[in-house]
Chains A and B, each alone.
Chain A
Amino acid sequence: MRGVDLTVARGEIVTLIGPNGSGKSTTARTAIGILAPSEGTVRRRTDLVVGYVPQKLTIDWTLPLAVRRLMTLTGSYPGDAIEAALAAVGITHLADRQVQHLSGGEFQRALLARAMVRKPDLLILDEPVQGVDFSGEIALYDLIKQIRNDTGCGILLISHDLHVVMAETDTVICLNGHVCCRGTPQAVAESPEYLQLFGARAAATLAVYNHHHDHTHLPDGRVRHADGSVTEHCHPGDGHHGHTHDHPHGEGHDDAAPHGAKGQGHA
């Protein structure tokens, strides 16, 4: 890794993308101080609180660990803060479930809630949508955006999944041992360096996920609207929507860009 320069400010989402072994995780680990840089400097705000969602987390089945206990893994938090974090990611109903029994999407939400309960200044998300199906991916990206909007924390997101890059990302940094290119998601997708690194085929399947819809489907079946309210269902005419849509719930939403490789269609 050489010549990498990045900052994450409060309320900013920075996404690192790049092929396997391109140094995304190394960069993130250096940023939070797990690794010391052999050259260069890292500056962190004093008393920076970091929330971390690690990559590939498997918990041995011999460890009895319910979601609620997972929340206090690295610190003690009052009960209402835990409930609030679980509610924010929509898994209140799973609080007493053993983590080994959660689905991929539920587990990622539990990990997000665990990181959130710390009230972090900086949230590090290492491949937060792995093991999650496509509609779940979109819901998770919505949630991440929502977290940023609600808490104002900075987010450093790592992804090798080129299919969906959040449009809310302020800066995309494409790594391959060095900074290959950087900029807004749209700018990176169109840059020649990016095309060269991933090839035209990969670039063609890249979807910059524009966030056009206005509500989130929580795993317990309820719906969270852009105005922050939560209802049992959503209807085009219920006053929560700025536009209408006609897709079934649980499906992907109407996006400006094509979804590409995974080929998820719309109703």
Chain B
Amino acid sequence: MTPRRMARKGRDMLDDFFTRAILAGVGLALAVGPLGCFIVWRRMAYFGDTMAHSALLGVALSLLFDINLMAGVFFVAVAVSVALIVLQRGRSLSTDALLGILSHSTLAIGLVLVAFMSWVRVDLMGFLFGDILAVSRADIGFIWAGGAIVLAGIWALWRPLLAATVNAELAEAEGMRPERARFAFMLLMALVIAIAMKIVGILLITSLLIIPAAAARRFAPTPEAMAVLASLIGVAAVVAGLYGSLSFDTPSGPSIVVAALLLFLVGQIPALGPKEPST
């Protein structure tokens, strides 16, 4: 039985939690496609992971000081990326090692803090692996508003970011401000993590950025086409993953990532792709 038929059969019991999940997931996938391309082009996967892992520290601090979760996660992610820039200037350790330290220590501190706060009940699994089926109407509003900001930001930054991706010096020599674009990019990344946490969870956020972009690469003749295609592949992964999760009673966040991976793998079949140009 196909997931689709099963979903149709079970439509009555769907209520609208499933519609809400689809809306939230599609909104996120549309927003992160272009951002994911830059993560892939600039080889920032580990950087994205580090920012995402810091989200748990953001959650812990938000609970501790009783502030909005998304705001807390956003500010901690920004703080971690600023810390990375400052530490990079010190040149004592490689960026790779710095990322490893920041990534796992923020995650660990977050876990320890949560354990200390015996007075709040925290659904740790929900934060780590996402709980898209529990998104509220307000969450959808935040996701679409945040997603719109991310897309508008990427649109505005597109030329300097792309030029700096090719060569930062070239961009700077020809009158652009790659450092400023890079900082703005990190703010957008922090925003994505804040809105994506509920959908795929802290540990899987970067996969939703990287896998659709990687899947789009083979079929994209230009950077712009790759960004659009990454968004569309992300949407397909969200829809397929959620239906799969419903059919097979699997956790929703990981199901979305598995769906994205399957799309990526199908795209790698040689017969499906455009002819590889000879060198």
Which chain A residues have a beta carbon within 8 Å of chain B's beta carbons? 29, 32, 34, 50-52, 54, 57, 59-60, 62-66, 69-70, 73-75, 97-98, 101, 118, 124
In the bound complex, do residue A64 and residue B169 qualify as a contact, i.e. CB atoms below 8 Å apart? Answer: no
B172 & A57 in contact (Cβ 8 Å cutoff): no
Which B residues contact A (CB, under 8 angstroms)?
Answer: 40-43, 159, 162-163, 165-167, 169-176, 213-214, 217, 220-223, 225-226, 277-279
Q: List 29 A-B contacts (CB under 8 A).
A: A34-B173, A50-B173, A50-B174, A52-B173, A54-B167, A54-B170, A57-B167, A60-B41, A60-B165, A62-B214, A62-B217, A63-B166, A63-B223, A64-B217, A64-B221, A65-B223, A66-B221, A66-B222, A69-B223, A73-B162, A73-B163, A73-B166, A73-B170, A74-B163, A74-B171, A74-B175, A74-B176, A97-B277, A124-B173
Instruction: Take A57-B167, A98-B277, A101-B279 as given contacts and tell me if A64 and B174 are in contact as well, using a CB distance cutoff of 8 Å.
Output: no
Q: Which residues of A contact B214 (CB under 8 A)?
A: 62
Q: Are B173 and A101 in contact (CB under 8 A)?
A: no
The CA of A124 and the CA of B226, in the complex, are separated in Å by 31
Task: Return chain A residues, CB-CB under 8 Å to B167.
Answer: 54, 57
The docked-state distance in angstroms from the alpha carbon of A52 to that of B173 is 6
Report Cα–Cα, A59/B40, bound state, in Å. 12
Q: Contacts A64-B220, A65-B222, A69-B223 known; list 15 others, CB within 8 Å.
A: A29-B169, A34-B169, A34-B173, A50-B175, A52-B173, A54-B169, A54-B173, A60-B41, A62-B213, A62-B214, A64-B223, A65-B166, A74-B171, A74-B176, A101-B279
Interface centre among B165, B167, B223 (most CB of A within 10 A): B167
Q: With A and B bound together, what is the CA distance between A66 and B226 in angstroms? A: 13
List residues of chain A with CB within 8 A of the CB of B169. Answer: 29, 34, 52, 54
A64 lies within 8 A of B43 (CB):
no
| Chain A contact surface mostly | loop
B interface, by DSSP: helix, strand, loop or mixed?
Answer: helix
Q: Once bound together, how far apart are the Cα atoms of A110 and B36, in whole Å?
A: 27
Q: Which of A65, A70, A74, A98 contacts B174 (CB 8 A)?
A: A74
Contacts of A75 in B (CB 8 A): 174
Chain A residues lying within 8 Å of B220, measured Cβ to Cβ, are 64
Check A62/B41 contact, CB under 8 A, given A69-B222, A69-B223, A101-B277: yes
Please pick, from B159, B174, B226, the residue contacting A52 in the complex, using a CB distance under 8 A: B174
Inter-chain contacts of A34 with B (CB < 8 A):
169, 172-173
Query: Which residues on B sit within 8 Å (CB–CB) of A51?
Result: 174
Contact B40 A62 (CB under 8 A): yes
User: Complex: how many Å from CA A70 to CA B165?
Assistant: 12
With A and B bound together, what is the CA distance between A97 and B221 in angstroms?
10
In angstroms, Cα B279 to Cα A50, docked, is 32
A124→B174 CA distance, assembly (Å): 10
Closest chain A residue to B217 by CB distance? Answer: A62
Contact A63 B174 (CB under 8 A): no
**CB-nearest residue of chain A to B174:** A74
CA distance A65 to B170 in the complex (A): 16
Output the nearest chain A residue to B221 by Cβ-Cβ distance. A64
Closest to A63 in B: B41
Once A62-B214, A64-B222, A101-B279 are accepted as A-B contacts, the answer to whether A32 and B173 lie under 8 Å apart by CB is: yes
